[in-house]
Chain A
Amino acid sequence: MEQLTEKLIHILEENARYSVSELSSMLDVDEQKISTIMEKLEADGIICGYKAIVDWDKFSDAHVTALIEIKVTPQRDAGFEEIAEKIMEMDEVESVYLMSGGFDLCATVQGKTFKDVALFVAKRLAVMDNVISTATHFVLRRYKELGVALLNKQKDDRGVMSL
Chain B
Amino acid sequence: MKPISELINPSVLEIKPSGIRKFFDIAESMQNVISLGVGEPDFKTPWHIREAGIHSLERGHTRYTSNRGMEELRRAVTDFMKRKYDLTYDYQSEVLITVGGSEAIDACIRTFISAGDEVLIPEPSFVCYRPITELAGGTPVIIQTKEEDQFKLTAAQLREHITDKTKMLILPYPNNPTGAVMRKKDLEEIAAVLKDTDILVLSDEIYAELTYGGERHVSVAEIDGMKERSIVVSGFSKTYSMTGWRLGFACGPAAAIDQMNKIHQFGIMSSPTTSQYAAIEALKNGDHDISDMREEYDTRRKFIVNEFRKMGLHCFEPEGAFYVFPSIQSTGMTSEEFCEKLLMQKHVAAVPGTAFGACGEGFIRVSYCNSLKNLRTAVNRIKVFLKGE
A161, B28: Cβ atoms under 8 Å? Answer: yes
Pick the interface stretch among A18-26, A72-80, A86-94: A18-26
**Per-residue interface assignment for chain A, residues 11 to 42, with 1 indicating a CB less than 8 Å from any chain B CB and 0 otherwise:** 10011001001101111100000000000000
A22 to B302 CA separation, bound complex (whole angstroms): 10
From B23, B38, B303, B372, contact of A159 by CB (8 A): B38
Question: How many of chain A's residues have a CB under 8 angstroms from any CB in B?
Answer: 19
A25 to B379 CA separation, bound complex (whole angstroms): 12
- Say yes or no: is B35 at the interface (Cβ < 8 Å to chain A): yes
Q: Measured between C-beta atoms, what is the minimum distance from B365 to chain A in Å? A: 9
From A7, A27, A158, A163, contact of B355 by CB (8 A): A163
- Say yes or no: is A60 at the interface (Cβ < 8 Å to chain B): no
A163, B126: Cβ atoms under 8 Å? Answer: yes
Q: Secondary structure of the B side of the interface?
A: helix
- Say yes or no: is B351 at the interface (Cβ < 8 Å to chain A): yes
A160, B35: Cβ atoms under 8 Å? Answer: yes
Least CB separation from A154: chain B residue: B44
Which residues of B lie under 8 Å from residue A162 when comparing CB positions? 37-40
Q: How large is the interface on B (under 10, 10 to 19, 20 to 34, 35 or more residues)?
A: 20 to 34
Which residues of B lie under 8 Å from residue A160 when comparing CB positions? 24, 27-28, 30, 33, 35, 37-38, 349
B302, A26: Cβ atoms under 8 Å? Answer: yes
Least CB separation from A28: chain B residue: B302
From A11, A21, A156, contact of B299 by CB (8 A): A11
A76 to B372 CA separation, bound complex (whole angstroms): 50
Which residues of B lie under 8 Å from residue A158 when comparing CB positions? 35, 38, 40, 42
Q: A7-B299, A15-B373, A27-B299 are in contact. Are A161 and B307 (CB under 8 A)?
A: no
A158 to B35 CA separation, bound complex (whole angstroms): 10
B351, A161: Cβ atoms under 8 Å? Answer: yes
Least CB separation from B126: chain A residue: A163
- Say yes or no: is B127 at the interface (Cβ < 8 Å to chain A): yes
- Looking at B33, B127, B302, which has the most chain A CB atoms within 10 Å of its CB? B302
B306, A163: Cβ atoms under 8 Å? Answer: no
B126, A25: Cβ atoms under 8 Å? Answer: no
A22 to B378 CA separation, bound complex (whole angstroms): 13
A163, B351: Cβ atoms under 8 Å? Answer: yes
Q: Measured between C-beta atoms, what is the minimum distance from A50 to chain B in Å? A: 16
A24 to B306 CA separation, bound complex (whole angstroms): 9
- Provide 17 A-B residue pairs closer than 8 Å at the C-beta atoms, listed in order of the A residue: A11-B372, A15-B372, A18-B376, A25-B303, A26-B303, A27-B299, A156-B35, A159-B28, A159-B38, A160-B27, A160-B28, A161-B28, A161-B349, A162-B39, A162-B40, A163-B39, A163-B176
Supplied contacts A7-B299, A161-B28, A162-B38, 8 more A-B pairs, CB within 8 Å: A25-B302, A25-B307, A27-B299, A158-B35, A158-B38, A160-B27, A163-B18, A163-B176
Of all A-B residue pairs in the complex, the 7 with the closest CB atoms, nearest first, are A25-B306, A161-B37, A26-B303, A161-B24, A160-B35, A160-B27, A28-B302
